Amino acid sequence: MKLARQLGSLLASTLLLFSVSIQAEIKGEEVSYSAGDLTLKGFMAYDDAVTTPRPAILVVHEWWGHNAYARERATLLAKAGYVALAVDMYGDGKTADHPKEAGEFMKAAMADKAALAARFHAAVDVLQQHSAVDKDAIAAIGYCFGGAVVLEMARRGATLAGVASFHGSLGTDNPAKAGEVQAKVIVFHGEADRLIPADVVEAFKQEMTAAEVDFTFVNYPDVQHSFTNPDADELAKKFDLPLAYDKAADEDSWEKLQEFLTGLFTAPNE
């Protein structure tokens, strides 16, 4: 009898844990939206067991386009308690398999800043219309090309709580102006990044300071471009690119991102 009760208790505990894991399952949704005549295809992730609106984060992809990496980061943010939307800045969810093609996609997107902004704000609208989102609590993060995008949106005065750039391009032809940047800014940069010269880094810091932007610059010594992407080493070897994954910098920057977001919003899991 005692053994039966113990087995029954163990079974009940197992079923409870199974039930909790089911309830906490992250939901992923394919999202189609548009900016002008361009169809954009994103991916939204969130915990559908949470019934109250919560802060939301846009995730802007690298120059490779809307790929699995951007979706993985969105899913990680959803597990942290946010609604996350991996956006599409190229249209039709297209991705590049070669640096030449990626460069062409990126150059075309950055050539028309008004269209770039329209695509970004179309994604913001998707979040604001979702029932799971606190429409007044939205931030954005970006990687490489995506880092340049979120910084550009901050410079243009986008109504965001904050933006975070990971190994993103820092130069601009539209410097921030005092009083126009509403978002707090954090930049994660590899000091050994050969794609972003030291003078560009210094110019960015001077720009942010002159514009009185609330910004934080995190510099990782001996760390190269694309340090958060586990595929960076393979891509570097395949295409002879100055990229390298750095596990320590990846993990530290992600931890600091969580601290940054918690500072922007009420921590969603508390």
Residue 16 domain flag: no
Residue 19 domain flag: no
Residue 74 domain flag: yes
Residue 191 domain flag: yes
The per-residue pLDDT for range 210-237, each reduced to its tens digit, is 999 999 999 999 999 999 999 999 999 9
Cβ-contact 152, 185 below 8 angstroms = no
**Residue 121 maps to which CATH number?**
3.40.50.1820
- What is the H or E stretch that residue 253 is in? helix 247-264
Residue 65 domain flag: yes
User: Cα angle at 120 between 115 and 122, to 5 degrees?
Assistant: 95
Q: Could you tell me how far CA 174 lies from the centroid of its own chain?
A: 22
The per-residue pLDDT for range 23-65, each reduced to its tens digit, is 458 999 999 999 999 999 999 999 999 989 999 999 999 999 9
For 237, the domain range is 29-264
Residue 155 domain flag: yes
Q: What is the pTM of this model?
A: 0.89
**List of residues 6+ apart from 201 with CB closer than 8 A:** 170, 189, 219
Domain count along the chain: 1
Residue 122 domain flag: yes
Q: What is the pLDDT along the chain (270 residues), one digit of tens a residue?
A: 443 444 343 333 333 333 334 445 899 999 999 999 999 999 999 999 998 999 999 999 999 999 999 999 999 999 999 999 999 999 999 999 999 999 999 999 999 999 999 999 999 999 999 999 999 999 999 999 999 999 999 999 999 999 999 999 999 999 999 999 999 999 999 999 999 999 999 999 999 999 999 999 999 999 999 999 999 999 999 999 999 999 999 999 999 999 999 999 964 444
Q: Which residues pair with 219 in a beta bridge?
A: 189
Q: Which residue in this structure is represented by tokens 């079974």?
A: 11
Cβ-contact 155, 181 below 8 angstroms = yes
